[in-house]
């Protein structure tokens, strides 16, 4: 722990406690336009900077039990990470401001929306060229994060912000420095649908490969038009992963043997059971037992050893290889961000990534909410539901990128 703390101190730029510095005043320096979102760690507002005229995003950090617990760790992590990781494809932190009750606001560049909302409100799916454009920008951001010795630990569609064809990686509340061999970390990170197998099995020693698994989940969702592993609980997630990747083996997942026994509170009872089954399957070469689960109606169905071609029937061989190498059981065998950027699927296979200038337009959340209010509809909130079989291709489902034409289309 001491080594990890020292590494974090060395890697992050010095940044004092926000309340101990001269901060701008939200009441006098900014004109709020409307609320555009709310996350785990704070609310987000669209506002205009009265000094510069720039439209910005004000992210309020929740201050729960500040007197007893101090400034929230997630807020400190986000501030230090954003200051240390400036990059064209990472949301830019402009300043820090204070509210009337001492609330802390991060003043960030404004983006119209996130990819999850954008995908939901588009009349047509992303084309394959547009998907590649998004992935190239995401991978550039992730490469920069990893090159600086950090891990993001919460890459998902709703944390990929978008404006005028530009993709920005945001929400660094779980980010931290993670030098190799620096210590143990929490396994309770990354949103469940994007969580790597080693985390699901309780590993507390991990590295940048966990982010690459999440990138693979994002890539798959963009191509499919739906989440790849929409699990409700850890048990379901492991079941869905095993159905797509096939059963694990000592050759494919050697790290399982070295996983320490986690504390009882680290993983749920269902995850612990499937963890024991995975370890047994890997060490003894037995098939992975996948018993029916009350929240997994798909658990009664079988799938081939590797279901990638069934799930992505229109994806070229290079695209299948790209996904397989991101979504590998073994963290050591996953593509790094640099390797993914150099993969033939993104560099030589047609169609090439779309030009960001030709990417589709996206309305901001205030405009979307106003239109839906006029129609008498409320904002739809996507919540994890029962796990679905990833090999179940619903023919009535809205077509995804691989069904649409691969040519880029302007709005």
In this predicted structure, the answer to whether residue 110 has a pLDDT above a threshold of 50 is: yes
In this predicted structure, the answer to whether residue 281 has a pLDDT above a threshold of 60 is: no
Told to judge if 123 belongs to the known catalytic residues of this protein, a careful annotator would answer: no
Q: Given 3-state DSSP classes, what are the helix, strand and coil percentages for the chain, each rounded to the nearest 5?
A: 40, 15, 45
What are 218-265's pLDDT values in tens digits? 999 999 999 999 999 888 888 899 889 987 777 777 776 666 554 443
Query: What's the whole-number mean pLDDT along residues 278-305?
Result: 46
Examine residue 272 and say whether the peptide bond preceding it is cis (omega within 30 degrees of 0). no
In this predicted structure, the answer to whether residue 151 has a pLDDT above a threshold of 90 is: yes
* pLDDT at residue 322, rounded to an integer: 98
Average of per-residue pLDDT values in the chain: 77
* pLDDT at residue 192, rounded to an integer: 93
* pLDDT at residue 309, rounded to an integer: 92
In this predicted structure, the answer to whether residue 300 has a pLDDT above a threshold of 60 is: no
What are 2-28's pLDDT values in tens digits? 444 454 444 444 444 444 456 788 999
d(CA 300, CA 229): 17
* pLDDT at residue 325, rounded to an integer: 96
d(CA 221, CA 301): 22
* pLDDT at residue 119, rounded to an integer: 87
Q: Regarding predicted confidence, which is higher, 187 or 157?
A: 157
Catalytic residue among 112, 114, 154, 236: 154
| Mean pLDDT lowest among 7-21, 171-185, 289-303 | 289-303
Residue pair 44/38 in contact (Cβ under 8 Å)? The answer is yes
Feature table: binding site for ATP: 59
Residue pair 313/393 in contact (Cβ under 8 Å)? The answer is yes
Residue pair 254/329 in contact (Cβ under 8 Å)? The answer is no
Query: What's the whole-number mean pLDDT along residues 144-167?
Result: 95
In this predicted structure, the answer to whether residue 148 has a pLDDT above a threshold of 70 is: yes
What are 324-333's pLDDT values in tens digits? 999 999 999 9
In this predicted structure, the answer to whether residue 304 has a pLDDT above a threshold of 60 is: no
Tokens 């050893």 identify what position?
305
What are 331-374's pLDDT values in tens digits? 999 999 999 999 999 999 999 999 999 998 877 776 776 666 76
- 106: helix, coil or strand? strand
Query: What percentage of residues in the chain have a pLDDT greater than 90?
Result: 43
Residue pair 332/112 in contact (Cβ under 8 Å)? The answer is no
Query: What percentage of residues in the chain have a pLDDT greater than 70?
Result: 67
Domains of the chain: 16-109 (3.30.200.20), 113-357 (1.10.510.10)
* pLDDT at residue 303, rounded to an integer: 42
Feature table: binding site: 59
Answering whether pTM is above 0.85, one says no
* pLDDT at residue 12, rounded to an integer: 41
């Amino acid at each position: 722990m001491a080594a990890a703390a020292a590494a974090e101190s060395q890697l992050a730029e010095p940044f004092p406690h926000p309340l101990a510095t001269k901060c701008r005043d939200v009441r006098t320096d900014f004109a709020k336009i409307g609320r555009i979102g709310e996350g785990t760690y704070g609310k987000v507002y669209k506002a205009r900077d009265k000094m510069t005229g720039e439209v910005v995003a004000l992210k309020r950090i929740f201050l729960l039990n500040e007197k007893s617990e101090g400034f929230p760790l997630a807020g400190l992590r986000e501030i230090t990470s954003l200051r240390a990781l400036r990059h064209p494809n990472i949301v830019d932190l402009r300043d820090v401001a204070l509210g009337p009750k001492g609330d802390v606001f991060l003043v960030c560049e404004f983006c119209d929306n996130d990819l999850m909302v954008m995908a939901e409100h588009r009349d047509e799916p992303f084309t394959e060229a547009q998907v590649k454009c998004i992935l190239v920008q995401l991978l550039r951001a992730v490469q920069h994060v990893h090159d600086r010795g950090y891990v993001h630990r919460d890459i998902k569609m709703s944390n990929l912000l978008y404006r005028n064809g530009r993709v920005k990686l945001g929400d660094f509340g779980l980010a931290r420095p993670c030098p190799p061999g620096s210590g143990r970390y929490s396994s309770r990170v990354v949103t469940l649908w994007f969580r790597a197998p080693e985390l699901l099995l309780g590993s507390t020693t991990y590295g940048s490969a966990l982010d690459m698994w999440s990138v693979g989940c994002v890539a798959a969702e963009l191509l499919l038009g739906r989440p790849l592993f929409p699990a409700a609980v850890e048990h379901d997630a492991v079941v869905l992963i095993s159905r797509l990747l096939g059963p694990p083996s000592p050759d494919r997942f050697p790290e399982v043997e070295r996983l320490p026994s986690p504390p009882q509170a680290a993983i749920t009872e269902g995850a612990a059971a499937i963890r024991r089954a995975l370890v047994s399957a890997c060490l003894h070469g037995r098939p992975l037992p996948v018993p029916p689960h009350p929240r997994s109606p798909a658990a009664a169905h079988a799938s081939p050893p590797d279901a990638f071609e069934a799930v992505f029937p229109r994806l070229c061989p290079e695209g299948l290889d790209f996904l397989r190498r991101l979504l590998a059981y073994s963290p050591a065998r996953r593509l790094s961000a640099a390797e993914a950027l150099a993969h033939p699927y993104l560099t030589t296979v047609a169609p090439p990534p779309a030009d960001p200038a030709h990417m589709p337009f996206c309305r901001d959340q205030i405009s979307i909410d106003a239109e839906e209010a006029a129609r008498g509809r409320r904002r739809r909130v996507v919540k994890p539901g029962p796990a679905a079989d990833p090999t179940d291709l619903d023919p009535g489902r809205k077509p995804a990128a691989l069904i649409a034409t691969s040519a880029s289309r302007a709005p």
